[in-house]
Amino acid sequence: MRWFEHLSRLTEQKVPLVLVTLLSVRGHAPREAGAKMLVTEDAAYGTIGGGNLEATAIGLARKMLEEGGRAPQVHTLRLTENAPAEHGVQCCGGEVQVLLEAIHPNRPTVALFGVGHVGWALAKVLSILPIELWLVDSRADMLHEERLKPLQDAARLRVFQAPILDSVVQDLPAGAHLVVMTHDHAEDLFVLEAALRRGDLGFIGLIGSAVKWRNFQHKLLQQGLSQADLARVTCPIGLPLTRSKAPEAIAIAVAAQLLPLLVGRGEAQSPTPKAESASEDERQRSTADG
């Protein structure tokens, strides 16, 4: 069972790997069905029997990692003198099926800058997903341990209380998604500018009205950012699922917009159509300072 200990450690370290299992054994083979090993880019843990069988399985697993394969693979290998033997002859006389399952433990990261009414509701929705969830706020009471207790443990939670929130942006991993919704529009602007000066982040969402976004665009252009930079921002945020202004309703609409980025491959859903933007802007205007 040592492979299980190694699996726990490697996934915690976010190391991509392939779980190799002897799926079935016919005749004689070095190991029994169910034997397992783990293969990473530069190491192997456990054994399925050594020799050509194991070396071939390791090669197949590393090819799977190199190609980024995610679908399970089954390979049939014969253990006879006449079978292909790139790594030495094994003449046990049996035949085995080997199952390869890729494990990519990197979780998508979502950072919520501002954990007021809408941010808190969105945190509760997102916490049921297997993601890394960053909660960032300049107000210590918003991140109090008692307040965070209702969050689900499917998400790995990281909490940052900092007087200057834009500094946390620099610590985000590449590809992280962020939603800006603090209680202070000056904080929103600082965070947004820091995010746009990085070219390796994912979804960048800003809560607020069309008026707020026009003001922000003017100020960001004055700071030397380009129209192409501003085009990376989604504002207002959330799919047009409802006209409700309730924080919980907005949270569900934003979570639905993010979902394609967090579960399987895809792109965030487009923001509200132009015809509906006015009602969406009005909805978010009343909740932007949550």
* pLDDT tens-place string over residues 32-58: 889 999 999 999 999 988 788 889 999
Do 97 and 23 meet the contact criterion of CB atoms below 8 Å apart? yes
**Among residues 37, 60, 59, 53, which one has the least CA distance to residue 94?**
53
- Which pTM does this prediction carry? 0.69
CA–CA separation, 140 and 160 (whole Å):
9
CA dist., res. 27 & res. 24, Å (int): 10
Cβ neighbourhood burial of 169 (10 Å; 0-12, 13-18, 19+): buried
Q: What is the pLDDT of residue 277?
A: 43
Do 48 and 36 touch, CB atoms closer than 8 A? yes
Q: What is the pLDDT of residues 143-157, one digit of tens each?
A: 999 999 999 888 989
pLDDT over 70 at 181, yes or no: yes
C-alpha distances (whole Å) from 89 to each of 20, 47, 59 are 21, 17, 16
**pLDDT per residue as tens digits for the range 106-131:** 889 999 999 999 999 999 999 999 89
Stretch among 80-94, 121-135, 233-247 having the lowest mean pLDDT: 80-94
Which of 52-61, 196-205, 220-229, 280-289 has the weakest average pLDDT? 280-289
- Ranges of H-type helices in 79-176: 117-126, 145-148, 166-169
- Of 47, 57, 44, nearest in space to 15 by CA: 44
Mean model confidence pLDDT for the chain: 86
Half-sphere exposure of residue 177: CA atoms within 13 angstroms, side-chain side? 22
What pLDDT, on the 0 to 100 scale, is given for residue 251?
97
Q: How confident is the model at residue 80 (pLDDT cuts 50, 70, 90)?
A: low
Mean pLDDT of 65-80: 86
Structure-model confidence comparison of residues 166 and 127, the more confident one: 127
Helix (H) or strand (E) holding 56: helix 51-67
CB 189 within 8 Å of CB 218: no
